[in-house]
Each structure stands twice: as C-alpha cells, then as structure tokens.
C-alpha cells in the first residue's frame, strides 16, 4: 500500500531563496530514489514563508528506507536556520468506491 508523507513548516525570509533552491534539488534527487512516486512542493498563497511538501512512496518500507538515506540528511541540513513549526505526518490513502455517486457543489 502506498504511503504519503506531508511535511509542513514555516521559513524565515532571509533563508527562503536558499532553501527553495535546495528543495528543488532535493525533489529531483528524491524522485530518483527507488519507489518514490511523487514529490510536490507547495507554498502558501498568502504566506510565501509557509511550505508544505507531499511525497508518495510505493510502500511504508520504501519511506523508511529513505529516512536513512543521504538525501534525507542533505534535506535536514537545509533547515539548520530559520525553520519553525515543522510537522511531519505519515498518511494512508483512502479511496471512495466508484459506485458511490459524486455530488458536485455549485
């Protein structure tokens, strides 16, 4: 079963450009890791200091393997200064069966 990891944090403005560049490099590196399916970087629309990362792995075991990788250690080095309110959540996807009618809001 796939697992999605959500990481949310705030970043002080003096370090924002450096960390953003590092995150883009990290995304490319993580996407090359075995069984990483997706890596998305989001920033707050009204708050450019808010970052939310989503990455999806083929299995929890693949995610656990990544936790011990050099890529993660490089990722941690990006956050030495200026990161606050770091939250990391492991999420399991739940799907609605296709036989359930979909209601669209107007």
Q: What is the pLDDT of residues 19-77, one digit of tens each?
A: 888 888 888 888 888 899 999 999 999 988 899 999 999 999 999 988 887 777 766 77
State the Cα–Cα distance between residues 74 and 70, nearest whole angstrom. 6
- What does the block give as tokens for 34? 């075995």
Beta carbons of 3 and 63 less than 8 angstroms apart: yes
Q: Is 31 part of a structural domain of the chain?
A: yes
Q: How many domains does the chain have?
A: 1
Task: Give the CA count within 13 Å in the CB-facing half-sphere of 55.
Answer: 24
**What tokens appear for 30 in the block?**
């993580």
Provide DSSP, 40-88. Answer: EEEE-SS-TTEEEEEEEESSHHHHHHHHTSHHHHHHHHHTSSSEEEEEE
The pLDDT value given to residue 66: 86
| 101 pLDDT above the threshold of 70 | no
pTM: 0.77
Range of the domain at 77: 3-91
Averaged pLDDT for residues 74-102:
74
Has residue 46 been placed in a domain?
yes
Residue 20 lies in a domain: yes
Task: Return the higher-pLDDT residue of 50 and 93.
Answer: 50
């Amino acid at each position: 079963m796939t697992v999605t990891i959500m990481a949310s944090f705030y970043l002080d403005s003096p370090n924002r450009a450096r960390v953003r560049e590092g995150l883009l490099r990290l995304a490319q590196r993580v996407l090359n890791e075995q069984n990483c399916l997706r890596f998305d970087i989001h920033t707050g629309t009204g708050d450019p200091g808010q970052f939310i990362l989503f990455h999806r792995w083929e299995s929890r075991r693949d995610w656990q393997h990544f936790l011990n990788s050099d890529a993660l250690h490089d990722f941690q080095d990006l956050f030495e200064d200026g990161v606050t309110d770091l939250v990391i959540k492991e999420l399991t996807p739940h799907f609605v069966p296709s036989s359930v009618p979909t209601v669209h809001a107007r």
